[in-house]
Amino acid sequence: MTPTSGPTLDLKRRVAAAVRAEPSPTRVAARQRGWLTFAISTAIALAIFAEAGGVRTAGRPGLLVVWTCVGWIVAASAAGALAVARGRSMLGRSTQSLAILVVALPLALLLWKIGVTIPFGPEMTAAWPGRPGFRCLGLSLAMAAPLLVAFVVIRRRTDPVHPGIAGAALGVTAGVAAGTLVDLWCPIAHLPHVLLGHILPLVLLALVGAWAGRRLLSP
């Protein structure tokens, strides 16, 4: 017996005893905790939206509001299906599909927002003096932050392969979900305003999500 075998064996026994004494949550319990966090986060985002004024048409035709909102809802649903749900693989989605989501979704939403607005007349894409987009930027980040927390809790310690890009995808998903509400609140479709107030939040949230993913999604 070597001099260190006794203490080493004792240490292993103490570690094993500590592991046995610390109950690990079941998969069902973890899922319930995650979705409870999501429900609370959604309530917080909706409360912020209501406090900001809720739905505002401000001269926009009702059909335009519907069309732009539909685009954001579809994008949010697709992002959630890819980023939050892991699919059939225990390792989650592929790196390529998540990267495409992070890069393509902001561009697609920009094109959708401008594309569906132009047919309603040039006044719908005109600039609004004094409204460069900072209020939309702040509102987007404020509503997306609790959603991103919920998504990270749901996916916590579940991605051993690409936690960074998975976190970025979660950030974009939270941003698009919040952006749906911001689009209902904001009547402006001027390109610089949309870039600053509606698309930039997606980029910032992707960066924050990537940072959080590398620290919290990896087992």
> What gap in Å lies between CA 32 and CA 159, rounded to an integer?
19
Domain spans of the chain, in order of start: 26-216
Query: Residue 77 is encoded by which pair of tokens?
Result: 């649903």
Spell out a b/e string for 209-219, using b for 16 or more CB atoms within 10 Å of the CB, else e: bbebbbebbbe
Percent of the chain with pLDDT over 90: 64
Q: Directed axis angle between helix 163-185 and helix 200-216, to 10°?
A: 150
What percent of the chain has a predicted confidence (pLDDT) above 70? 83
* Alpha-carbon span 45 to 42, nearest angstrom: 5
pLDDT of residue 58: 82
Q: In this predicted structure, what is the pLDDT of residue 194?
A: 96
Position 144 pLDDT exceeds 90: yes
pLDDT-derived band at 4 (thresholds 50, 70, 90) equals very low
Instruction: Determine whether 161 is exposed, middle or buried from the number of CB atoms within 10 Å of its CB (0-12, 13-18, 19+).
Output: middle
> Whose structure tokens read 């892991």?
86
What's the pLDDT tens digit per position in 70-121? 999 999 999 999 888 766 666 667 889 999 999 999 999 999 999 999 999 9
What is the average pLDDT value for the chain, to the nearest integer? 86
Q: What is the pLDDT of residue 1?
A: 45
Judge whether residue 66 has pLDDT over 50: yes
pLDDT at 46 over 90: yes
